[in-house]
Amino acid sequence: MENMKKKVVYWITGSQTLYGADVLEHVAQHSEEMAEYVNKYMPVTVKYLTTCKSSDEIEAAVAKVNADEDCVGIITWCHTFSPAKMWIRGFKKLQKPMCHFATQYNEKLPYDTIDMDFMNENQAAHGDREFGYIVARLRMDNKVVVGYYKDEAALKEIADWCRVAAGYAFSKKVKVCRFSDNMRDVAVTEGDKVEAHMDFGWQVDYYPIGDLVEYINKVTDADVDALMAEYDKKYTMGTKRIDVVREQAKYEIAIDRFCKDKGGYIGIVDHFGALHGLNQLPGLAIQDLQSKGYGFGAEGDWKIAALGAVMQYMADQKGTGLMEDYTYDLAEGTCLGAHMLEVSPQFAATKPEIQVHPLGIGGKSDPARLVFEGIAAPEAVAVSMVDMGDRMRLIVQKIELIKYPHKMPNLPVGGLMWKYKPNFKEGVAAWIYAGGAHHTVVSSVVTAQQMVDLGNMWGIEVVLIDENTKIEQFKKDLMWADVVWKNKR
Ligand code: MN
């Protein structure tokens, strides 16, 4: 996975020539100093680009931003007043996300010495409003972050946004390799792949499973020995049926090679009912691949594979993966989530153990899988994407991952347990009203705000279910949104 720090966010300051060369020199110096400070706390590289004083300068800066392959976005700020008509021509051409940092070089007012020279040089409150108007008028889906540039909370917001901007750039190149079509008769995992390519950049390609079988047949014993040694380091071997485990290792090597050979697929999709030539459903194989950054979707679900790949990138391959709402504890108001096999070991609170058990569906041999208890995390997020026919809807729910309240000795899969926000009743109802799928990407690293920001960058509908959700208002919001999106697309 490529290093996010290689990605660049340019800092562009707005000003004008009215104040004279001395002031402009200070503006440039301060901007550079601020960008350097901010950069130390960012997952990407934040670099001061220029101070813009005219339409031509802004257009030139935007041209550089658009052309720079490593640039994933810009941070803008107005140290002084900056007449905003000059931003129009450039911003009409801007192709990267923009974060408006409403900040200031000084934190406190110098009450004893303040005069009009100070006022003219430090008027972000004035300049940022003029700038904000033109951005609103241009209907740009930008982000506004407010606060002193050394303030921890403001820096965290900027850092989170930079990660989203990097994820947005990453998304444009996501390729999903699909070894099966959608599971027969299932609705929510369907979707318009052309629309997804237009909105998110996702390229979703089908390959017959036989193409993968050819790769599986070419995996050597030595290849398998090497991966088995890796498993030994990371996992406990809880079975004597080593041949069954070696078969999964073969699948993992073959899938990984196939994805790389065919042009860099980072999302994988299979289906337990379409496995001709394989004698097990890939379980351990898919789990270990998810731990390395692949997004995975089961039963033909390419949307969740692509979304998983993007969120994995945003999360530095931590605490993120496919999940499925499985079964409730109605007395406790909790949910136990899992999947047939393919739960990412990024969710493991206990050392994952390789086990072999029969699988009730699919009619194949007993597959090897990783079994573990899921992590606890007070702030996690479950994300679903559904096709509403005229647009994609991203549904983002805040959840609290909890420690297993009891041992479940007969549960033969990895899992997670959680509580829904705002509470069990309204949290579940809101998800169902919004048409949220049973497949989600859960993350204990990516935040709900980041997913909302990503949805805004994509320009799609975003539905948030959090501690403030009230069902009647929520239903009305869905109804208004339907009208808005019908007109927007
Ligand atoms: Mn499923």
Each residue's pLDDT, cut to its tens digit, for the chain (489 residues) gives: 678 999 999 999 999 999 899 999 999 999 999 999 999 999 999 999 999 999 999 999 999 999 999 999 999 999 999 899 999 999 999 999 999 999 999 999 999 999 999 999 999 999 999 999 999 999 998 999 999 999 999 999 999 999 999 999 999 999 999 999 999 999 999 999 999 999 999 999 999 999 999 999 999 999 999 999 999 999 999 999 999 999 999 999 999 999 999 999 999 999 999 999 999 999 999 999 999 999 999 999 999 999 999 999 999 999 999 999 999 999 999 999 999 999 999 999 999 999 999 998 888 999 999 999 999 999 999 999 999 999 999 999 999 999 999 999 999 999 999 999 999 999 999 999 999 999 999 999 999 999 999 999 999 999 999 999 999 999 999 999 999 998 886
Expressed in angstroms and rounded, the spacing between residue 277 Cα and the centre of ligand 1 is 21
Expressed in angstroms and rounded, the spacing between residue 298 Cα and the centre of ligand 1 is 5
Closest Cα partner for 274 from 213, 344, 323? Answer: 213
pLDDT at position 360 is: 86
Expressed in angstroms and rounded, the spacing between residue 471 Cα and the centre of ligand 1 is 27
Expressed in angstroms and rounded, the spacing between residue 472 Cα and the centre of ligand 1 is 30
The phi and psi torsions of 199 (rounded to 5 degrees) equal -75, -45
Expressed in angstroms and rounded, the spacing between residue 399 Cα and the centre of ligand 1 is 20
Expressed in angstroms and rounded, the spacing between residue 189 Cα and the centre of ligand 1 is 9
Expressed in angstroms and rounded, the spacing between residue 333 Cα and the centre of ligand 1 is 22
What pTM was computed for the model? Answer: 0.97
Expressed in angstroms and rounded, the spacing between residue 273 Cα and the centre of ligand 1 is 12
The phi and psi torsions of 237 (rounded to 5 degrees) equal -85, 110
Expressed in angstroms and rounded, the spacing between residue 420 Cα and the centre of ligand 1 is 20
Expressed in angstroms and rounded, the spacing between residue 299 Cα and the centre of ligand 1 is 6
| Distance of alpha carbon 48 from alpha carbon 115, whole angstroms | 28
pLDDT at position 2 is: 74
Expressed in angstroms and rounded, the spacing between residue 271 Cα and the centre of ligand 1 is 9
Expressed in angstroms and rounded, the spacing between residue 236 Cα and the centre of ligand 1 is 26
Expressed in angstroms and rounded, the spacing between residue 439 Cα and the centre of ligand 1 is 6
Expressed in angstroms and rounded, the spacing between residue 204 Cα and the centre of ligand 1 is 19
Say if CB 312 and CB 202 are below 8 A apart.
no
Across the strands, what pairs with 267?
Answer: 176, 295
| Distance of alpha carbon 23 from alpha carbon 15, whole angstroms | 10
Beta pairing, strands 236-237 & 392-402: unpaired
Expressed in angstroms and rounded, the spacing between residue 232 Cα and the centre of ligand 1 is 28
Expressed in angstroms and rounded, the spacing between residue 281 Cα and the centre of ligand 1 is 13
Expressed in angstroms and rounded, the spacing between residue 386 Cα and the centre of ligand 1 is 15
